[in-house]
A and B are shown apart, each in its own frame.
Chain A
Amino acid sequence: MAGLTAFSYRKGFSIVHSLDARFKLLFLVIIGASGLKASPAGLLLLFGLVLSGLIHAGIRLRDLFKELRFFFCFLLFVVAIRAFSADGTGLIEVYGISLSAGGLKEGLLVCLRLLLIALSGLLFVATTRMLEIKAAIEWILKPFPFVSGSRISTMTGLMMRFIPVILEQAKETSDAQKARCIENRRNPLYRMIKFAIPLLGRTFDNAGRIAIAMEARCYSDIRTGYKLSSKKNDWMVLFIVISVCTAIVAYL
């Protein structure tokens, strides 16, 4: 059975859960943009804001960090690249390559910014139902001519729905090939081709079946959408987020 990914909705009754999806998207943009401008102290404050949101939403940080372990490996890689490639005062030297203090600081800053964006995104997805996200996307795209907000939101929903299914199929394909000793083949290109062709074939077949099933249920761009409505809480939280982010960027 396909498991939940880190980026999936978790039911809850927190204030963050109750906020309008459009506002939450706006918070995501404001916090992300402030993170780019903020000093290290300001970044830590933003982290505090997002982490308290995650805790308030009932997301266990231990589970969260466990699910993000591969992302942390990526961040470590980014720090290492920055630290060893930047010019500046060398702290230590490994095999003739020096690790610079400035590079290490820069690398850590980039990582903190990436982590802030990832955690904010996770807070958004974990507290917002897919139908609200789809409705928010449709609302945002409404002013743009020649862009079908309804179609894009449906595609987003389908993508979120079928990621676990495709991952499950990828695992099945990989297991079936292991059962026939694919690991004895040394050529990675051969292994990749033998893995990708059946997986892509299955995915395209499924896509065809999904399209037929949607057609059978009268799918079209004109349909009853989910109605989003802003409340007093949304405006209050917006005021708080803007005030805090402005203060962080201006004074820290």
Chain B
Amino acid sequence: MGLSNMNIIEIDKLSHRFSNGFLGLDSIDLSVKKGEFVVIAGRNGSGKTTLLRHLNALLLPTSGTVRIGGVSVQDDPARARRIVGMVFQDSDSQIVCETVREDVAFGPENLCLERDEIEKRISEALNVTGLSGLADAGPHILSGGEKRRLAIAGVLAMMPEVLVFDEPFSNLDYPGTRDVLRQITGLHGAGRTIIVSTHDLEKIISHAGRLLIMEEGKIARDGIPEKIISGVETFGVREPYFSRMGLERASWPG
């Protein structure tokens, strides 16, 4: 099997029941290949975030297994977190330091890297996300789009192979959305595996190679976007304009 065809994520019969008895995930089977661009859509409470949080052991399975690069996340959660970087919906909660530079350094410092290596990674991550000019700025002066890019830079500095974005466009204006979308597509172009959860397909679907629809903790549809997009409204997800009008898939930023 070639390297590009390797499954970086393998999920078998994954179920998760919360402490209040609610079944968040119900026997999910899923595999994601290296370099894939996957969009997970579904209405609020369908299990998207719960599924994503199993990928880096923030939640552990009630039953079933999640393997990242062939190793169970339960056996080595720290390894899973190094391989799968997660950008959360609320950037304000993800930015934990006083300046942009310090926040990007937070992850590499947790990995106990040497200071020279940390500095190298900071400047690379800031360059990729276009935040070099704001390195010494405080997070409170950043715009919504810049904060989201800082959250991405913080994760990139840990050099993950997989990047998971949970509702990356929420609370962003049009320029902010375009900024973040450019980052995501650029990272995919650079060979990273991308997983994006959203309930708004319009902005992202033209870049994705695979679409998963979640409903009540299960994967209800899984396939290439063109094949399954026309039925998404049944699952509480708005069908993109181009699909309703029978047009070609068009990139949202233009």
> Which residues of A are interface residues toward B (Cβ below 8 A)?
1-4, 8-9, 11, 129-131, 157-158, 160-161, 164-165, 206, 209-210, 212-220, 222-225, 227
Contact = CB atoms under 8 A, between A and B. Distances in A.
Given A165-B140, A218-B78, A213 B114 contact: no
A213 B110 contact: no
Contacts of A129: 98-99, 102
A161 B98 contact: yes
Interface in B49-99: 53, 56, 58, 78, 81-82, 85-86, 88, 90, 92-99
Given A129-B98, A131-B98, A213-B88, A161 B139 contact: yes
B17 interface: no
A171 to B, nearest CB: 13
A223 B97 CA distance: 15
A159 B82 CA distance: 26
Contacts of A161: 95-98, 139
7 contacts: A4-B138, A206-B93, A213-B88, A216-B56, A217-B154, A224-B112, A225-B109
Which of B92, B94, B111, B115 has the most chain A CB atoms closer than 10 A to its own CB?
B92
Which of A9, A157, A217, A218 has the most chain B CB atoms closer than 10 A to its own CB?
A217
Contacts of B95: 161
Contacts of A214: 96
A220 B110 contact: yes
Contacts of B82: 218
B180 interface: no
Contact of A222 (B90, B98, B112, B140): B112
A161 B95 CA distance: 9
Contacts of B118: 224
Nearest to A164: B140
B108 interface: yes
Contacts of A225: 109
A8 B81 CA distance: 33
B149 to A, nearest CB: 16
Given A216-B58, A217-B155, A218-B158, 16 more contacts: A3-B140, A4-B140, A129-B99, A157-B96, A157-B97, A161-B95, A165-B92, A212-B58, A213-B88, A213-B93, A216-B56, A216-B85, A216-B86, A217-B81, A217-B154, A218-B78
A164 B53 CA distance: 29
Contacts of A212: 53, 58, 88, 93
B226 to A, nearest CB: 33
B235 interface: no
Contacts of A209: 88, 90, 93
Interface residues of B, number: 38
A164 B114 CA distance: 32
B113 A8 contact: no
Contacts of B115: 224, 227
The 9 closest A-B pairs by CB, nearest first: A209-B93, A130-B98, A218-B110, A217-B107, A213-B94, A224-B109, A2-B140, A223-B109, A216-B86
Contacts of B108: 224
Nearest to A219: B110
Nearest to B143: A1
B96 A158 contact: yes
Contacts of B158: 217-218
Contacts of A216: 56, 58, 81, 85-86, 88
B96 to A, nearest CB: 6
A19 to B, nearest CB: 19
Contacts of A3: 140
A218 B111 contact: yes
Contacts of B106: 217, 219
A210 B56 CA distance: 16
A160 B98 contact: yes
A213 B96 contact: yes
B141 interface: yes
Given A129-B98, A216-B58, A210 B93 contact: yes
